[in-house]
C-alpha cells in the first residue's frame, strides 16, 4: 500500500517536470507504481496480471497521482518522509517479486531477477515515458539495494529462518543501506565510455 | 481498417521527422497502428496476439507507412481529413479494446483501461521509439476523449441500449469532442513541477 | 553464445556512453542480448520466456557486460572483430526467431517478423533505455539484413533444401551483405519529413 502510493507520487512529480496534463500524470503515476509488477508478471507468464484482479490498486495509484498535484508545493518539506516511503516501497516490491517467482517454481537466479524487476522497473518505465535516461541505473545505490535485499531474503529463507524475522531483516538492512547511500552520497563505480561511435 | 491506416500514417510521419530509413518507417508505422492492441493483448493475457492471426493487418500498416513517404508532400492539404481519420481511429480502437476485455470477463475498471490502452498506446510507443515525450499525455483532449468514449460506451451497454445506437453515440460524441478540442484548442489543466530534483 | 556475448558487449558500451554505474551496465547488457528474444516470446505467447529456463544465458550477458568495462580501452583495436561478431549475432538471432515461430505454427509473415524482432529488438531496447533514437532504424543495412536472412532462410526450407546448407547460406549471405554495407556505407533511402507538427 505505502509502496504503491509512494511510487505513484514519484511518478506524478516526474510527469509534472514534463508539463503533462492531469491525464498524463495519472498514467505515469500508474506506470511507476504498478509497472514493475506488470513487467514481472508478463516476463514470468503470470496471467492474469496482478492489478487486473485488484481494481483497488488502480484507484490508489491514480488518486496518489492526483493528490500529488495538490500537495506538490509542500513536497520540499516532506522530502525526508518521501525518501523513507520510497525506500520502503523498493524493499517491499523486491520481496513481493521474489515470492511471485518462487511460487511459480522458477530457478533462483530468475527469482532474484524477478525481485529486482518488480523493485526498479516502475522507475525505469517512468523515466522512459518522461524521455530521460533511467535514473536508477545511474544514481546512488538504488538498484543495488534491491539486489542485496533479494539475495539476503532468499539466503535467510533457505537457511530456514522464519518468515517474520526474514522480512524484518530484509527491511532493516534495505532501509539502512538506502538511507546511508543517500546520506553519504555513496554510489557504485560508474563506467564512462566516450569514444566516438565506430560500431 | 481506416483506424489502422490513419495510425500507420501518423507513425510514418513521426519516423520521417527522425530521418529514419524506409525500414524504420515501416516498423514505426506498424507499432503505431498495432502497438496499442498488442500491449492490450499482452496485459490481458489474450494470446495469440490479434495481429498474428490477421496477416492482412500487418501488410496494411506497412503499406500505409510506405505510401505516406510518397504522399507526405501533400499531407499539408490533407490535414483536415487526416485529423478526422485519426479521431475515428481513436474511437474505434477504444471501443474494440473495451470489447476484448469484456469478453475475457475482466472487471469494469480494467475494461475501461483496456479501451484507453488500445486507443492511445500506439501513439505512446511511436513517441518512445522516436525519442520524444508522449504527446498524447500532454496535448489537447486526446487520451481524455478515449476515456470518455469508453465510459459512455459501457454505460449505454449497461443500460441495455442496442449495440448499434451505442456505437453511433460513441462515435458521434467522441468525434465531436475531439474536433471541438482541436478547433478551440481545449486541453486539460497541466501540472508543471520544476523544483530541482531532490528525491 | 557468440551472438549473446557480442550483443551484451554492444549494450555495455552504450551504457558507458551514458555514464551508467556497473549495475546499469549489467542491466543494459542483459536487455541488449536477451531483449529481442524476450519480446519475441511475449508476442508469440511462448511462455516460459526462454532465458528463464537457461540461467547460463543470464550469467553470460552480465559477465559480458562487466568484462567490457575492463577491456573497453582496447575496443578500438578489436573494432573489426567486434563488427563481425555482431553480424554473426544478427543472423543467428534472426534464424532462431524464425524457428521459434515456425514451431508454434504461426503464419509465414509472422515467422518473418519473429525473426526480425529477435534480431533487432535487443538493439532497440538498448537505445530506448539509453534515451536515443534506435540506430537500427536509421543506420546502414542492419534491420534489412535481418529481413533478407529471414526470407532466404524460409524460402530455402520451403524448397526442401537441407537444414545445414540453408544455415550456411543464411550466414554467408547475411554476413556478406552486412560487411559490404559497412565497408561501402550502403543504406536504405531515408525519409526526411520536417514540416511543422500540425497533426
Q: Is residue C168 part of a domain?
A: yes
Taking contacts as CB-CB distances below 8 angstroms, the residues of chain B near A23 are: 137, 143-144, 147, 188
Q: Which residues of B121-159 are buried (b: 16+ CB within 10 A; e: fewer)?
A: bbbbbbbbbbeebbbbbbbbbbbbbbbbbbebbbebbee
- For residue A190, give the 3-state DSSP assignment: strand
Mean pLDDT of A4-20: 87
Judged against a pLDDT cut of 70, whether residue A139 lies above it is answered with no
pLDDT at C192: 80
CA dihedral over A179, A184, A188, A193, signed as positive or negative: positive
Contact C17, C30 (CB under 8 A): no
Mean pLDDT of A40-59: 94
pLDDT at C151: 96
Taking contacts as CB-CB distances below 8 angstroms, the residues of chain B near A27 are: 137, 143
Residue with cell 563506467: A191
**Which contacts of B73-80 are long-range, i.e. CB under 8 A and separated by 24 or more positions?**
B75/B13, B75/C195, B76/C195, B76/C198, B79/C198, B79/C199
Asked if the peptide bond before residue B45 counts as cis, ω within 30 degrees of 0, the response is no
Residue A190 φ then ψ, to 5°:
-100, 145
Q: Which three cell numbers stand for residue A43?
A: 516476463
**How many residues are there in chain C?**
199
Q: Is residue C194 part of a domain?
A: no
Contact C130, C28 (CB under 8 A): yes
Is the pLDDT higher at B161 or at C82? B161
Q: How many domains does chain A divide into?
A: 1
Q: Is C180 on the interface with B (CB under 8 A)?
A: no
Mean pLDDT of A12-38: 91
Mean pLDDT of A3-27: 88
Taking contacts as CB-CB distances below 8 angstroms, the residues of chain C near B49 are: 43-45
Measured N-to-C along each axis, helices A108-129 and B108-129 cross at an angle, to the nearest 10 degrees, of 70
Is the pLDDT higher at C72 or at C108? C108
Q: Minimal CA–CA distance to A11: which of A25, C119, B71, B23? A: A25
Mean pLDDT of B24-47: 95
pLDDT at A195: 60
Is the pLDDT higher at C174 or at C81? C174
Judged against a pLDDT cut of 50, whether residue B113 lies above it is answered with yes
Smallest Cβ–Cβ distance between B191 and the set A20, A47, A48 belongs to: A20
- CA nearest C109 in B: which residue? B55
Is the pLDDT higher at A11 or at B79? A11
Q: Minimal CA–CA distance to C172: which of C58, C44, C84, C42? A: C84
pLDDT band at B199 (very low <50, low <70, confident <90, very high): very low
pLDDT at A96: 95
Judged against a pLDDT cut of 70, whether residue B109 lies above it is answered with yes
Q: Minimal CA–CA distance to B13: which of B76, B59, B92? A: B76
pLDDT at A199: 41
Is the pLDDT higher at A187 or at A153? A153
Is the pLDDT higher at C4 or at B173? B173
Judged against a pLDDT cut of 90, whether residue A140 lies above it is answered with no
Mean pLDDT of A74-85: 78
Q: Is residue A198 part of a domain?
A: no
CA distances from B117 to A45, A99, B10, B44, B94 (A): 20, 28, 17, 11, 8
Smallest Cβ–Cβ distance between B188 and the set A21, A38, A48 belongs to: A21
Residue C106 φ then ψ, to 5°:
-80, 160
Is the pLDDT higher at C47 or at B137? C47
Q: Minimal CA–CA distance to C95: which of C151, C44, C141, C28? A: C151
Percent of chain A clearing pLDDT 70 (strictly above): 96
Q: Is residue A108 part of a domain?
A: yes
- For residue A105, give the 3-state DSSP assignment: coil
Percent of chain C clearing pLDDT 70 (strictly above): 96
Judged against a pLDDT cut of 80, whether residue B140 lies above it is answered with no
Q: Is residue B79 part of a domain?
A: yes
* Averaged pLDDT of chain B: 89
* Averaged pLDDT of chain A: 89
Residue with cell 515456425: C102
Q: What is the ipTM metric for this complex?
A: 0.88
Alpha helix ranges (H) inside chain C:
2-17, 22-43, 55-71, 79-103, 108-129, 143-158, 163-183
Smallest Cβ–Cβ distance between A110 and the set C12, C23, C55 belongs to: C55
- Whole-number Å distance between alpha carbons of C173 and C180: 10
Q: Which three cell numbers stand for residue C125?
A: 531496447
Q: Is residue A163 part of a domain?
A: yes
Q: Which three cell numbers stand for residue B14?
A: 513521426
- For residue C56, give the 3-state DSSP assignment: helix
pLDDT band at B154 (very low <50, low <70, confident <90, very high): very high
What confidence tens digit (pLDDT) does each residue in C20-77 have? 888 999 999 999 999 999 999 999 999 999 999 999 999 999 999 999 988 887 777 7
Q: Which residues of C28-46 are buried (b: 16+ CB within 10 A; e: fewer)?
A: bbbbbbbbbbbbbbbbbbb
Asked if the peptide bond before residue A48 counts as cis, ω within 30 degrees of 0, the response is yes
Show Cβ contacts of residue B101 under 8 Å, excluding neighbours closer than 6 positions: B40, B44, B110, B111, B113, B114, B115
Q: Is C103 on the interface with B (CB under 8 A)?
A: no
Judged against a pLDDT cut of 60, whether residue B28 lies above it is answered with yes
Judged against a pLDDT cut of 70, whether residue B139 lies above it is answered with no
pLDDT band at B82 (very low <50, low <70, confident <90, very high): confident
Chain pair A-C, CB pairs under 8 angstroms: 95
Judged against a pLDDT cut of 60, whether residue B33 lies above it is answered with yes
Q: Minimal CA–CA distance to A140: which of A197, A77, A188, A69? A: A188
- Whole-number Å distance between alpha carbons of B19 and B25: 9
Is the pLDDT higher at A128 or at C16? A128
Q: Is A124 on the interface with C (CB under 8 A)?
A: yes
Judged against a pLDDT cut of 80, whether residue B107 lies above it is answered with yes
Q: Is residue C129 part of a domain?
A: yes
Contact B151, B112 (CB under 8 A): yes
Mean pLDDT of B62-76: 85
**Cross-chain Cβ contact B137/A21 below 8 Å:** yes
pLDDT at B49: 95
What confidence tens digit (pLDDT) does each residue in B174-190 have? 999 998 888 888 778 88
Domain residues for the domain of B11 are 2-183
- Range from A87-96, B84-93, B145-154, B182-191 carrying the lowest mean pLDDT: B182-191
**Cross-chain Cβ contact C191/B22 below 8 Å:** yes
Mean pLDDT of C70-94: 84
- Where is A28: in which H helix or E strand? helix A22-43
**How many residues are there in chain A?**
199
Judged against a pLDDT cut of 50, whether residue C89 lies above it is answered with yes
- Whole-number Å distance between alpha carbons of A79 and B163: 51
Amino acid at each position: 500500500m505505502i509502496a504503491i502510493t509512494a511510487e505513484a507520487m514519484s511518478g506524478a512529480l516526474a510527469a509534472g517536470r514534463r508539463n503533462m496534463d492531469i491525464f498524463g500524470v495519472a498514467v505515469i503515476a500508474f506506470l511507476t507504481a504498478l509497472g514493475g509488477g506488470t513487467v514481472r508478471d508478463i516476463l514470468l507468464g503470470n496471467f492474469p496480471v496482478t492489478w487486473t484482479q485488484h481494481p483497488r490498486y488502480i484507484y490508489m495509484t491514480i488518486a496518489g497521482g492526483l493528490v500529488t498535484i495538490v500537495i506538490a508545493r509542500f513536497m520540499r518539506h516532506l522530502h525526508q518522509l518521501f525518501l523513507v516511503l520510497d525506500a520502503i516501497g523498493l524493499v517491499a516490491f523486491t520481496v513481493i517479486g521474489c515470492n511471485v517467482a518462487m511460487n511459480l517454481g522458477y530457478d533462483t537466479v530468475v527469482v532474484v531477477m524477478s525481485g529486482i524487476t518488480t523493485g526498479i522497473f516502475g522507475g525505469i518505465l517512468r523515466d522512459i515515458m518522461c524521455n530521460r535516461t533511467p535514473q536508477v541505473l545511474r544514481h546512488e545505490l538504488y538498484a543495488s539495494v534491491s539486489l542485496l535485499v533479494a539475495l539476503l531474503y532468499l539466503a535467510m529463507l533457505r537457511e530456514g529462518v522464519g518468515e517474520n524475522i526474514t522480512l524484518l531483516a530484509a527491511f532493516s538492512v534495505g532501509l539502512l543501506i538506502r538511507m546511508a547511500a543517500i546520506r553519504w552520497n555513496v554510489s557504485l563505480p560508474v563506467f564512462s565510455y566516450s569514444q566516438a561511435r565506430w560500431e
